[in-house]
Structure 1
């Protein structure tokens, strides 16, 4: 304030550039007025002081620049004449800077006024990046309603997605602390999700991992046994949201090493409510999706046995979530040989319990929503089963005849994994499918089933035909005729199967020819023996 008054006094003392000094005086007066308003509106002290501190520091710099220029206008001497043009240019540049600054000061005053405190988001897009961030953070800290604060958090996330530079500005202007405060407040899940998702975006650039450490610490505290069940439930829901919306964050070591264990403990606890278990299972499902490390952690805990028990005794959403977790684990196992061999060994009680429950779901539960992921899971584990474990083949073959085409198609896809050339036990598994009378069901699907199942059924028939011992059964069931009929359309409808279908037709034709020739030879041999016997009898 004193510095501004000094500038006003210097303006009155100037002997040159009267017009410019007059214009400057108007701007200085306006800034002093705004500064006075700001001091009034921020009493008592607000929660977020960063804009005030920065604006006061900038204002001091602008007043000092103005005083320097005005001091050059006191005397009309030779030096003044030499630098008159430069002084005029400095005035113009200063006016431009002060006009912009007045706009920002007006905004800051409105930001702290009680009736609009934290409610200046509508004008954010017209402000500089730093001022835009201030507006959002101030609203998070001081917003008059929770909805306004949530909107501000979401706007911060939008700024980060729009331009990478905003991450640095938000951190520099104290945004992380404000978001952490909201995350720890006793407020709605929507607010917590918004804060957590924005923090995750900022954490991606946090090399020291400070943001993620504090977030995980907050989650662990909320998920601990000493927390109220309502708080545990909300924390689990929050973890699920983060895992779903921020794939990078869910891969973090701290999430894997701390959160997953805590969720499994709550899921297996007898004291937990159904609602809490549903939330924990949903969080584990989202964490498991596409993550080898998280799935490995799940199998290294008591997670697998816990999931098997819950699938066995629970119903509804909890059972569904548990099956979906298993589906994610087995999907990872299908594509990761090392993980599959470690998690699904034949000697593992947990793996056996999971497989037993999956087979029970496939055989006994007439619910497509549960059967489809259960069938997918068994199919993903196809390379884990020995030739002796034909018990897993029978239920899949039976589902080929299911009236629900989604179930039938998944059964065909799963069986395809057992007999594809990538499975070194494909020959043994193909014999099991034949023994369980799978060929008639496949032919029925191919001839009258939904068209979406045809490519999978075609592939399965072709894989079965690669083994000569299956040829007669397939030919008698009409497979060769069906393949010859569909062959002209394969190139346009299922081009990826063209080579496989053509090769299978040739193989079946060759086996049919060999079988016919063998049969003729046997008939000729039999006739020859009969004639020889007659000749001997007449002697």
Structure 2
């Protein structure tokens, strides 16, 4: 059933990003505080008399810290892009504590006097050593930070380990790689760093979570959007796809404006491999989060995807009429596409078909957008001429579109009625698959699609039911099960032509095939569908000789005794079917009813 109750607004966890000016201001304020603390420590340490305690080392360390912090401030102010501040904030958090601890110790030294001075000096010397070690660690952290953000051109990615990350080396690698992706002036280093993040993310979910929590998504999106080279965009898209594994992580994507960025990149890209990777990212995100699925549709991601899918497909006027298609979709990208191999072109189409499959699943708005383009006729052509994964993905897309249409009369009437040229071409291919294909991965979705559209077929459409009936004795149970469920939709009372369809099923020798199906099936849920089918046939054409000669009354009565306890909702239908058959069949009074009718 189509899911139409998506929220019009993003989840509450998705907040607008901080502007670059605000971002830099916040960092500069934090730096100013750390510099103030370091300068204060220098002054206090120098005021301590050597006779009380030698604090000269603390003064030297604080002076070095103040110098490094000012270098960091100059680096931040010279950065035109948003500064990657996650390691900076973590380092400052520790530094503040270390500076405050040092200041407290120096304050004690300044005011300590009397007969306990000698004892105090012994204990405090150890404290000074501890504090000195902490300040040295902070100095090492900031030196590492500067080496990451302002490396030598030939230094590459910094893989050294700062003291702050000594207990978790992965954190340092994550920081270093994210910073390189965000700030490096060397494109090769940015690509290598993005690939390193992909490798780390591929190791385990903890690493994925760490990369997301340490704000790795915005730099990757920036690398994707920059379009400096196809290789850089592929690296960014691949890494982002590796990170997009659950709704929590995808919320971070949305907070970083990922959806609009991805659609823009898709529209602007001229490289087929880049398009393929970006569309794979769309599929991954939309398949996990239904709000994201709808938002991609609102951002009009469907238009470029259908455009790429339709590339190289020849469409004649006889199959594309009735949709005003020339105005709804341009089949020529605004920018010239770079040359690509046949394999790359095929992979793009496979990804496009998969994306349409995911975007249409349960979504009425996206399904409408897809059917407003030339997608249906393109899908039909690809089902006809392609094979394997592309053919399967196209069939699954059609199946999802039909599933949405099954619960929406407007979509069925306007787009998927068999008398419309595109829909009729699609139906021809579905029937061809059912009649001639042997792969259940193709046959099953084709049957499912026909079943979902059962209410759109007129009574005179006799070519539909014969192939479905023939699949009731198929050797693959998935095929027979799907055929039973599809036929049930043709004869259920909700179908306006249920009587005519029931008559056609009987004419196609459906009764013995349904009876054989019930005998061979050991799945009670599927047996219920088989019994429903028999009951509907009995209700619509109870005087049929085929029903009487096939012993349908006995089967329904036996089924009633065996399944009503588990499926009480079947009791009324079974009772009505028994009543109808007994009324029309001679000698049926000899049968004892399974329950009161």
CA contact (8 A) 1:15 1:76 kept: no
CA contact (8 A) 1:137 1:152 kept: no
CA contact (8 A) 2:217 2:256 kept: no
Question: What's 1:212 paired with?
Answer: 259
Question: What's 1:391 paired with?
Answer: 463
Q: Does 1:194 align with 2:239?
A: yes
Question: What's 1:486 paired with?
Answer: 559
SS in 2 for 1:410: helix
Question: What's 1:296 paired with?
Answer: 368
1:110 Cα offset (Å): 4.6
Aligned residues between the structures = 494
Moved more, 414-423 or 337-346: 337-346
Change (3 A) 1:436 1:5: closer
1:438 Cα offset (Å): 0.7
User: 1-side partners of 2:512 and 2:304: how far apart?
Assistant: 49
Higher RCO (CA 8 Å, separation ≥ 6 residues): 2
> What TM-score comes out, normalization by structure 2 length?
0.67
CA contact (8 A) 2:140 2:163 kept: no
Change (3 A) 1:124 1:434: farther
CA contact (8 A) 1:400 1:442 kept: yes
Moved more, 207-216 or 453-462: 207-216
- Which structure carries more helix by proportion? 1
1:234 Cα offset (Å): 3.0
> What TM-score comes out, normalization by structure 1 length?
0.73
Query: 5 Å matches for 1:500-519?
Result: 500-512=573-585
1:53 Cα offset (Å): 6.1
CA contact (8 A) 1:140 1:152 kept: no
Question: What's 1:137 paired with?
Answer: 178
1:343 Cα offset (Å): 1.7
1:448 Cα offset (Å): 3.1
Q: Does 1:457 align with 2:530?
A: yes
Change (3 A) 1:463 1:97: farther
Query: 5 Å matches for 1:198-277?
Result: 204=251, 210-222=257-269, 227-253=270-296, 255=297, 258-270=300-312, 273-277=345-349
Q: Does 1:427 align with 2:499?
A: yes
User: 1-side partners of 2:499 and 2:258: how far apart?
Assistant: 54
User: 2-side partners of 1:476 and 1:306: how far apart?
Assistant: 46
The partner residue of 1:50 within 65, 85, 92 is 85
Question: What's 1:415 paired with?
Answer: 487
Moved more, 494-503 or 335-344: 494-503
Change (3 A) 1:336 1:124: farther
1:426 Cα offset (Å): 1.7
User: 2-side partners of 1:2 and 1:380: how far apart?
Assistant: 71
Change (3 A) 1:482 1:31: farther
Question: What's 2:198 paired with?
Answer: 150
SS in 1 for 2:378: helix
CA contact (8 A) 1:311 1:357 kept: yes
Larger radius of gyration: 1
Change (3 A) 1:410 1:5: closer
CA contact (8 A) 1:368 1:406 kept: yes
Query: 5 Å matches for 1:328-347?
Result: 328-347=400-419
Question: What's 1:524 paired with?
Answer: none
User: 1-side partners of 2:281 and 2:480: how far apart?
Assistant: 37
Moved more, 281-290 or 42-51: 42-51
User: 2-side partners of 1:311 and 1:122: how far apart?
Assistant: 59
Q: Does 1:404 align with 2:476?
A: yes
Question: What's 2:321 paired with?
Answer: none
User: 2-side partners of 1:468 and 1:498: how far apart?
Assistant: 20
Q: Does 1:7 align with 2:41?
A: yes
CA contact (8 A) 2:364 2:404 kept: yes
SS in 2 for 1:258: coil
SS in 1 for 2:495: coil
SS in 1 for 2:474: coil
Deviations, residues 167-222 of structure 1 (Å, cap 9, x unaligned): 7x83xxx8513542256562485752332575896774799984422222112222
Query: 5 Å matches for 1:74-153?
Result: 106-107=140-141, 109-110=143-144, 112=147, 117=158, 137-138=178-179, 141=182, 146-151=194-199
User: 1-side partners of 2:65 and 2:560: how far apart?
Assistant: 83
CA contact (8 A) 1:125 1:132 kept: no
User: 2-side partners of 1:134 and 1:63: how far apart?
Assistant: 24
User: 1-side partners of 2:157 and 2:418: how far apart?
Assistant: 66
1:30 Cα offset (Å): 5.0
SS in 2 for 1:252: helix
User: 1-side partners of 2:164 and 2:89: how far apart?
Assistant: 19
CA contact (8 A) 1:182 1:195 kept: no
1:256 Cα offset (Å): 5.0
CA contact (8 A) 1:193 1:242 kept: no
CA contact (8 A) 2:52 2:110 kept: no
Question: What's 1:367 paired with?
Answer: 439
User: 2-side partners of 1:97 and 1:427: how far apart?
Assistant: 90
Moved more, 282-291 or 189-198: 189-198
1:259 Cα offset (Å): 2.5
User: 2-side partners of 1:65 and 1:441: how far apart?
Assistant: 86
Structure 1 residue ranges without an equivalent (≥5)? 78-93, 518-539
Calculate the aligned-residue CA RMSD, in Å.
Answer: 5.0
Question: What's 2:319 paired with?
Answer: none
Change (3 A) 1:268 1:4: closer
Question: What's 1:447 paired with?
Answer: 519
Moved more, 310-319 or 30-39: 30-39
Change (3 A) 1:298 1:510: same
